[in-house]
């Protein structure tokens, strides 16, 4: 089951009505231009999908598009269990499945609130509750309850919507789209009041993790400040607010309190940094907010940052690091910086939100990056950090740039999904999707090169790479085609679900069919079809692009196959043959 990066969850928005498939929307469509169309209650169901053996749950929406076959079956009560029958056949055109914000959002009183609220499932006592939580930058908004289950089990559980909430379909210019709304037609103030009238019980505390070892005393030798203690007047000290740990779930919890928090290391230990301040009182204030949210926040003292906008040339020093930043913290700004330097991330410097583009010991390299950013119209600056300060590994620049393909040259960009701290799906016998992906990708590259084709990887090692940098690598290299390698997953309680799925968004249809056919000819994988989907790397690449789900790590048949080196090589070689068939 995919527990991380739900942007790559198996999402079949393709299983929408004929009129909703392949509708091109104008680039500047306002949410107010969308309409909604009711869906009969017996044609759609909201489900709490268990992740990591029921440690938490995701929202899954299944829709019956045609009557050819049943898409789900309900049984029992307290709670009602949903059997997702669509997983046992090729449901293209028969069933719709939405499993993340690409497929559903909140709509209240005719207004799309997808940018202000995120849908999630929480356990509250003996119920699973569907809530709309404010986005990180909307902390002033209240949480809304939309529905709940009548019990909790480690299975697919039906969510009954509260009074006033319905499931509807998005409409644009009179045409129905695949996107599903959780809709309430009352004014937002009324919805908030109704939701506030029923105060939910406190959510179940998170599953405890091993107690992290204490952080070593920072090199300064000063003791950690106690919250509420008088601030020290020390011009050489910054106060870094951190939460020990490095999981995506922990980072999400910290971000809900302080947007812009990121993963980093302090004295060799993984932590989430929530902020860094010159004033101890501000650090104490943030720490207190994190503690109130149930997080074990700490404050450490670090050497202070000097901030000349453009440092004067100086003799290189082992104790000086040149940090290239762009002031601001919006997602759009981060995207712009990433288009110049993949791997940029949000952080804070002296309490100010910035996008960090790079850190260097050599000042000329920092100057070169600053110039490239400024040439792209960005307000890039350089600050000097004294001492060794940690940098987050969440999205490293994955490798040296791939030389761009010359005119007329074929270059195949292979994208091994997940990596680093993002393992992807975790399956039977501890199978890790990221390891399967990189193995197949490397073999695929080798096979193609032996056949005379030039091939490159978006990552060559076990590192975490964000989605946009993967796209950037392919675009800068002027790749001919883009092939993303993944392994699928569902609940470990469903070992009978096995098979190959190949996805495309627009121009990759023929490539997807060629690869899919080749793999089926060469292996005994079950056929789960070629499908259209809105995966990020498919929507944002300009060349024909496909995403290959090479089997289910949770499936009895596929997991056994993945444990065989020869079987993995057979899949990779078959993908290579499909690519060659397409290129010919």
Q: Is residue 475 part of a domain?
A: yes
What pLDDT does 17 receive? 31
Judged against a pLDDT cut of 50, whether residue 207 lies above it is answered with: no
- Any residues with CB less than 8 A from the CB of 364 and at least 6 apart, and which? none
Q: Give me the residue label for tokens 């761009």.
A: 404
Percent of the chain with pLDDT over 70: 74
For the stretch 327-367, pLDDT in tens is: 887 767 777 887 777 666 666 666 567 787 877 777 887 88
- Do both 181 and 324 map to the same domain? no
What pLDDT does 178 receive? 82
pTM for the whole thing?
Answer: 0.41
- Which residues make beta-bridge pairs with 527? 500
Q: Is residue 509 part of a domain?
A: yes
Query: pLDDT class for 284, splitting at 50, 70, 90?
Result: confident
DSSP assignment letter at 267: T
Judged against a pLDDT cut of 60, whether residue 19 lies above it is answered with: no
Query: pLDDT class for 88, splitting at 50, 70, 90?
Result: confident
- Do both 146 and 268 map to the same domain? no
Determine the Cα–Cα distance for residues 156 and 498; give it in Å rounded to an integer.
18
- Do both 324 and 295 map to the same domain? no
Contact 77, 57 (CB under 8 A): no
Determine the Cα–Cα distance for residues 117 and 411; give it in Å rounded to an integer.
41
**Counted domains in the chain:** 4
CATH number at residue 257: 3.30.70.1070
How many Å is the maximal CA-CA distance in the chain?
74
Query: pLDDT class for 33, splitting at 50, 70, 90?
Result: low
What pLDDT does 351 receive? 59
Q: Is residue 315 part of a domain?
A: no
- Do both 125 and 14 map to the same domain? yes
Tokens for 123? 């356990």
User: CA torsion sign, 550 to 553 to 554 to 557?
Assistant: positive
Lowest mean pLDDT among 39-48, 259-268, 429-438, 536-545: 259-268
What pLDDT does 303 receive? 59
Torsion-angle region of residue 350: left (phi > 0), alpha (psi -120 to 50) or beta? left
Determine the Cα–Cα distance for residues 63 and 128; give it in Å rounded to an integer.
21
Q: Is residue 526 part of a domain?
A: yes
Q: How many CB atoms are closer than 10 A to CB 352?
A: 13
- Do both 13 and 145 map to the same domain? yes
DSSP H stretches of helix in 401-494: 433-450, 467-476
Please give the average per-residue pLDDT across 79-107, as a whole number.
85
Contact 547, 503 (CB under 8 A): yes
Sheet-wide strand order for 35-38: 35-38, 165-172, 175-184, 104-108, 111-112
165-169 — which CB contacts under 8 Å span 24+ positions? 166/38, 166/39, 167/39, 167/41, 167/44, 167/46, 167/61, 168/36, 168/37, 168/38, 168/39, 168/107, 169/20, 169/36, 169/37, 169/39
Contact 469, 420 (CB under 8 A): no
Contact 82, 74 (CB under 8 A): yes
For the stretch 143-199, pLDDT in tens is: 899 999 988 888 899 999 999 999 999 887 778 888 899 999 998 888 887 776 343
Judged against a pLDDT cut of 70, whether residue 382 lies above it is answered with: yes
Q: Is residue 402 part of a domain?
A: no
- Do both 44 and 94 map to the same domain? yes
- Active-site position among 49, 122, 301, 549: 549
Strand 481-488 versus strand 545-552 pairing type: parallel
Which of these three, 165, 196, 227, is where a domain ends?
196
Judged against a pLDDT cut of 50, whether residue 318 lies above it is answered with: no
What pLDDT does 565 receive? 93
Q: Which domain holds residue 503?
A: 411-583
For the stretch 100-109, pLDDT in tens is: 777 888 999 9
Tokens for 245? 């740990």
- Do both 458 and 510 map to the same domain? yes
- Do both 492 and 360 map to the same domain? no
Q: Give me the residue label for tokens 């090169």.
A: 449
Q: Give me the residue label for tokens 């019956």.
A: 64
- Do both 491 and 573 map to the same domain? yes
What pLDDT does 317 receive? 43
Lowest mean pLDDT among 89-98, 356-365, 437-446: 356-365
CATH number at residue 439: 3.40.630.40
Q: Is residue 222 part of a domain?
A: no
Query: pLDDT class for 39, splitting at 50, 70, 90?
Result: very high
- Do both 380 and 416 map to the same domain? no
Lowest mean pLDDT among 8-17, 61-70, 171-180, 335-344: 8-17
549 in catalytic set: yes
Q: Is residue 101 part of a domain?
A: yes
Query: pLDDT class for 137, splitting at 50, 70, 90?
Result: low
For the stretch 217-243, pLDDT in tens is: 333 333 333 333 444 445 567 778 888
- Do both 420 and 531 map to the same domain? yes
Q: Is residue 399 part of a domain?
A: no
- Do both 38 and 71 map to the same domain? yes
Q: Which residue has the higher pLDDT, 7 or 276?
A: 276
Which of these three, 303, 334, 353, is where a domain ends?
303
């Amino acid at each position: 089951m995919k527990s991380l990066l739900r942007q790559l969850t198996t999402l079949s928005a393709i299983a929408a009505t004929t009129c909703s498939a392949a509708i091109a929307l104008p680039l500047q469509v306002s949410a107010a231009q969308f309409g909604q169309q009711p869906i009969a209650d017996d044609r759609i169901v909201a489900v709490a999908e268990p992740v990591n053996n029921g440690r938490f749950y995701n929202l899954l929406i299944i829709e019956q598009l045609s009557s050819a076959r049943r898409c789900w079956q309900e049984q029992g009560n307290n709670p009602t269990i949903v059997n997702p029958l669509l997983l046992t056949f090729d449901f293209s055109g028969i069933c719709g499945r939405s499993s993340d914000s690409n497929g559903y959002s909140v709509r209240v009183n005719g207004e799309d609130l997808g940018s202000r609220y995120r849908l999630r499932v929480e356990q509250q006592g003996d119920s699973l509750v569907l809530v709309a939580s404010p986005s990180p930058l909307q902390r002033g908004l209240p949480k809304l309850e939309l529905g709940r289950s009548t019990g909790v089990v480690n299975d697919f559980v039906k969510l009954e919507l509260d009074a006033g909430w319905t499931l509807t379909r998005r409409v644009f210019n009179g045409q129905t789209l695949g996107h599903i709304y959780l809709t309430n037609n009352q004014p937002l103030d009324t919805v908030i009041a109704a939701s506030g009238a029923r105060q939910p019980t406190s959510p179940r505390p998170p599953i405890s993790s091993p107690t992290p070892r204490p952080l070593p005393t920072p090199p300064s030798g000063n003791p950690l400040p106690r919250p509420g203690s008088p601030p020290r007047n020390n011009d050489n000290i910054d106060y870094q607010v951190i939460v020990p740990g490095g999981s995506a779930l922990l980072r999400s919890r910290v971000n809900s309190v302080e947007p812009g928090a990121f993963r980093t290391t302090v004295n060799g230990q993984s932590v989430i940094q929530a902020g860094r301040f010159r004033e101890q009182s501000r650090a104490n204030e943030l720490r207190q907010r994190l503690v109130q949210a149930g997080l074990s926040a700490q404050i450490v003292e670090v050497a202070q940052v000097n901030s000349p906008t453009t440092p004067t040339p100086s003799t290189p020093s082992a104790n000086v690091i040149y940090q290239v930043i762009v002031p601001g913290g919006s997602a759009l700004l981060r995207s712009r910086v990433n288009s110049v330097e993949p791997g940029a991330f949000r952080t804070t410097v002296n309490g100010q939100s910035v996008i960090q583009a790079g850190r260097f010991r050599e000042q000329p390299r920092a100057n070169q990056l600053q110039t490239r950013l400024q040439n792209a119209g960005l307000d890039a600056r350089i600050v000097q950090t004294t001492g060794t300060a940690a940098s987050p590994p969440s999205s490293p620049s994955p490798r040296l740039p791939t030389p761009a393909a010359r005119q007329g040259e074929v270059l195949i960009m292979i994208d091994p999904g997940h990596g680093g701290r993002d393992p992807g799906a975790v399956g039977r016998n501890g199978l890790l999707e990221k390891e399967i992906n990189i193995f197949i990708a490397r073999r695929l590259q080798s096979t193609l090169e032996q056949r005379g084709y030039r091939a490159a990887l978006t990552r060559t090692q076990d590192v975490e790479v964000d989605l946009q940098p993967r796209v950037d690598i392919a675009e800068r290299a002027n790749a001919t085609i883009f092939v993303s390698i993944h392994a699928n997953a569902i609940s470990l309680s469903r070992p009978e679900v096995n098979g190959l799925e190949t996805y495309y968004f627009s121009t990759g249809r023929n490539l997807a069919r060629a690869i899919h056919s080749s793999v089926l000819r060469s292996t005994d994988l079950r056929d789960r079809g070629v499908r259209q989907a809105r995966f990020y790397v498919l929507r944002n690449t300009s060349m024909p692009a496909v995403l290959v789900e090479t089997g289910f790590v949770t499936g009895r048949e596929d997991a056994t196959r993945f444990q065989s080196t020869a079987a993995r090589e057979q899949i990779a070689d078959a993908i290579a043959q499909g690519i060659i068939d397409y290129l010919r």
